[in-house]
Amino acid sequence: MGAIASPADLAAPTAPTAPGLHAAIETLPRERLEPLQWQRLQDSLRNAWDHVPWHRQRLQAAGLADPRDVDSPAALQRLPFMVKTDLRDHYPFGLFTRALPQLARLHASSGTTGKPTVVGYTAQDLSTWADLVARSMHGAGVRAGDLVHNAYGYGLFTGGLGAHDGATRLGCPVVPISGGGTERQVALIMDFRPRVLCATPSYALAIAEVAEQQGVDLRGSGLRIGLFGAEPWSEAMRREIEARMGLRAVDIYGLSEIMGPGVACECVARCGLHGWEDHFLFETIDPDSGAPVPEGEPGELVITTLTKQALPMLRYRTRDITRLDRRACACGRTHVRILRVTGRNDDMLIIRGVNVYPSQIEAVLVGRPGLSPHYQLVLERQGALDSVRLEVEALPSLPAADYALQAADTRHHVKSMIGVSADVRVLAPGTVPRSQGKAVRVRDLRDAAA
Ligand code: DLL
Q: Looking at the domain assignment, is residue 62 inside a domain?
A: no
159-177 as b/e: b if 16+ CB within 10 A? bbbbbbbbbebbebebbeb
Share of the chain above pLDDT 90, in %: 83
Q: 152 CB under 6 A from ligand 1?
A: yes
Compute the average pLDDT of residues 177-190: 97
Q: Which of 320, 338, 344 to mutate to test the pocket of ligand 1 (most atoms within 8 A of CB)?
A: 320
Residue 9 pLDDT level (bands cut at 50, 70, 90): very low
The average pLDDT across 68-87 equals 95
Q: Which of 312, 345, 378 is the C-terminal boundary of a domain? A: 345
Tell me how far the alpha carbon of residue 214 is from its chain's centroid. 30
Domain's final residue, options 345, 376, 411? 345
What are the helix and strand counts (H, E) for the chain?
14, 21
Distance CA 118, CA 106 (A): 7
- How confident is the model over 418-446, as pLDDT tens digits? 988 899 999 999 999 998 999 999 998 98
- Cis ω before 292 (30° cut-off from 0): no
pLDDT category at 385 given cuts 50, 70, 90 is confident
CA-wise closest residue to 129 among 180, 167, 91, 100: 167
Instruction: Work out the pLDDT band at 94, boundaries 50, 70, 90.
Output: very high
Q: Is residue 38 assigned to a domain? A: no
**In the predicted structure, residue 14 carries a pLDDT above the cut 50:** no
Range of the domain at 262: 7-30+121-345
Average pLDDT over residues 135-150: 97
Q: What is the pLDDT of residues 344-381, one digit of tens each?
A: 888 888 877 788 889 889 999 988 899 999 999 998 88
Of 293, 326, 345, the domain-final residue: 345
Would you call 371 helix, strand, or coil by DSSP?
Answer: strand
**Residue 362 and residue 317 share a domain:** no
User: Looking at the structure, do residues 135 and 243 belong to the same domain, yes or no?
Assistant: yes
- Specify which of 44-53, 114-123, 324-333 reaches the highest per-range mean pLDDT: 44-53
Q: Are residues 313 and 374 in the same domain?
A: no
How would you classify residue 442: left for phi > 0, otherwise alpha for psi between -120 and 50, otherwise beta?
beta
Q: State the chain's mean pLDDT as an integer.
A: 92
For the beta carbon of residue 401, count every other beta carbon within 10 angstroms.
Answer: 7
Instruction: Name 125's Cβ contacts closer than 8 Å, sequence gap at least 6.
Output: 104, 259, 308, 309, 310, 311
Residue 23 has pLDDT above 90, yes or no: no
Check pLDDT > 70 for residue 3.
no
The CATH number of residue 421's host domain is 3.30.300.30
Handedness of CA 312, 316, 318, 323 (dihedral sign): positive
Identify the CATH number of the domain in which residue 249 sits: 3.40.50.12780
- State the alpha helices, DSSP H only, in 62-151: 73-77, 84-89, 123-139
- pTM given for the model: 0.92
Number of Cβ within a 10 Å radius of residue 285: 18
Gyration radius from the chain CA atoms? 22
Of 257, 280, 341, the residue with max ligand 1 atoms within 8 A of its CB, to mutate for a pocket test, comes to: 341
> Closest Cα to atom 14, ligand 1: which residue?
255
> What is d(CA 159, CA 162) in angstroms, rounded to the nearest whole number?
5
Q: Using CA atoms, how far apart are residues 287 and 300, in angstroms rounded to an integer?
A: 6
Alpha helices in 174-299 (DSSP H): 182-192, 201-213, 235-245
322 lines ligand 1 (CB under 6 A): no
Task: For residue 125, report the distance from its CA to the centre of ligand 1, in Å.
Answer: 19
Q: CA 284 to CA 44: how far, in whole Å?
A: 20
**So what's the pLDDT on residue 347?**
82
One domain for residues 393 and 317 = no
**Is residue 57, in this structure, part of any structural domain at all?**
no
- 3-state class (DSSP) for residue 389: strand
Residues 203 and 337 in one domain: yes
Q: Distance, CA 61 to ligand 1 centroid (Å)? A: 32
Q: Is residue 83 part of a domain?
A: no
- 242 pLDDT above the threshold of 80: yes
Write out pLDDT tens, residues 35-67.
999 999 999 999 999 999 999 999 999 999 999
Q: Report the alpha-carbon distance of residue 180 to residue 291 in Å, rounded.
A: 42
On the question of pLDDT at 108 being above 60, the answer is yes
pLDDT given for residue 351 in this prediction = 78
Atom of ligand 1 nearest to the CA of 257: 11
Q: Which residues contact 161 (CB under 8 A, 6 or more apart)?
A: 105, 107, 154, 155, 260
Percent with pLDDT over 70 in the chain: 94
Residue 373 lies in a domain: yes
